[in-house]
Amino acid sequence: MTIQVRGVSKSFGAQPVLREVHLSVPEGELVALLGPSGCGKTTLLRILAGLEVPDSGEVSHGGRALLDRGARERNVGLVFQHYALFRHMTVGENVAFPLRVRKRPRAEVEARVRELVGLVQLEGLAGRYPHQLSGGQRQRVALARALATRPEVLLLDEPFGALDARVRQELRRWLRRLHDELHVTSVFVTHDQEEAFEVADRVVLMNAGRVEQEGTPAQVFEEPASPFVMRFLGAVNVFRGHVDGGRAWVGDLEFSAPALAERSPAHVFVRPHDLELSSAPLPGSFPARVERVTVLGASVRVELRAPGYGERLEAELDLPRSHALALRPGDGIHVSPRRVRVFPGHDLEPDSLTASAL
């Protein structure tokens, strides 16, 4: 019962939101749609739910076409960012709603509600109204309600986006455990890379209406397929250079880029924790000046200026290393990139990130 999305496009007026999206969600897996706001991930989720109709393309579930069926007939569970609980109904009535509109027998409804309220650990709160619950509790009610009809697919639209950081953390882990128990095929929309990596089996990175990359969290982080993925999955330093014959150059620094034989301009990406700092020059290092040192807890972020290489670079090192170097603003230092990724191209393609923060 795999969900298949083939060539789905959608525009709102003249604004294209999804362009030829292909995607598959294997049965029983939890897949995260990850991307900056405006990348089309929520629209894709709403198409799966039946709340939007694509302009073109196919969606099927277990081989059956999904688009001919309206939202009512799809038997999906949908969880909204702002819960969308019925505010004039108690927790129990909310959870019972999907069963009642399907005219299930009363005894069955009551038993199922009891079971679900237990599942989301809200025993004793069934008589409360939504406004009497905390955000985390409300979202668990929404989840219980979405699961009430034993949906074939569970869709979650930024489910933890409205919660504060600690509750979000807890609920993420809880959702992951719940999924391991229920194994319902789930699609999860988020703009938070940490959240996607922690909860999902597979991550689908979206940008400007397209799927940029699809894979396990480790795959997309270790082998980013595009500059966008590289930039979206955490902070990264960008150096301008060029490639020729399987080598990449930034100034006089040389890196191996075996897949790139043709001569062209290129960008070399290095994560902050892959920039090694040393007080003496090393082979393949360049000089820089320390601008600012920020302690982030277990690690330290160092902002650097290296004329000719980068006006604003960022390195991250652990606390002992930082103590050993005793860095202060104004100090001279030597920087050697340890792991780089090289992408050819003259300019970075405009993407959703350019529009939002970063």
Partner 1 sequence: MKAAELVEAGPPAPPPPALALAPGARARFRRAEEDPPWARRTLIGAALLFLAVFLLLPAAAVLGEAFRGGLWAWAQAVTEPEARAAIRLTLLVAAIAVPLNTAFGLAAAWSVTRFRYPGKSLLLALIDLPFGVSPVIAGMSVVLLFGARGLLGPWLQAHGLKVVFAVPGIVLATVFVTFPYVARELIPFMQAQGTEEEEAALVMGASGWQILRRVTLPNVRWSLLYGIILCNARAMGEFGAVSVVSGHIRGLTDTIPLHVEILYSEYAFRAAFAVASLLFLLALLTLAAKRALRWSQRRERRPGGEA
Q: Which residues make up the interface to partner 1 (CB under 8 A)? A: 49-51, 71-78, 80, 82, 84-88, 97-98, 101-102, 125, 128-129, 131-134, 137, 145-146, 148-149, 164-166, 192-194, 234-235, 296-297
Nearer to partner 1, 64 or 88 (CB): 88
Instruction: For the chain, state the CA radius of gyration.
Output: 24
Q: Quote the CA–CA distance of 247 and 150 in Å, as a whole number.
A: 55
Nearer to partner 1, 193 or 285 (CB): 193
Least spacing, CB of residue 118 vs partner 1, in Å = 17
- Tokens encoding 222: 């270790």
Nearer to partner 1, 282 or 355 (CB): 355
**CB-based contact 217:203 (threshold 8 Å):** yes
Dump strand ranges (E) for 120-236.
153-157, 185-190, 202-207, 210-215
Locate tokens 């990850």: which residue? 34
Nearer to partner 1, 169 or 219 (CB): 169
- Tokens encoding 173: 């882990």
Least spacing, CB of residue 295 vs partner 1, in Å = 11
Least spacing, CB of residue 299 vs partner 1, in Å = 10
- Sheet containing 332-337: give its strands across: 275-278, 332-337, 286-295, 299-306, 310-318
Least spacing, CB of residue 183 vs partner 1, in Å = 21
Residue type, 59: V
Least spacing, CB of residue 85 vs partner 1, in Å = 8
Residue type, 174: W
- In this structure, what are the phi and psi dihedrals at residue 134, rounded to the nearest 5 degrees? -75, 165
Nearer to partner 1, 88 or 328 (CB): 88
Contacts of 74 (CB under 8 A, 6+ apart): 49, 50, 61, 66, 152, 153
Nearer to partner 1, 200 or 253 (CB): 200
Least spacing, CB of residue 159 vs partner 1, in Å = 13
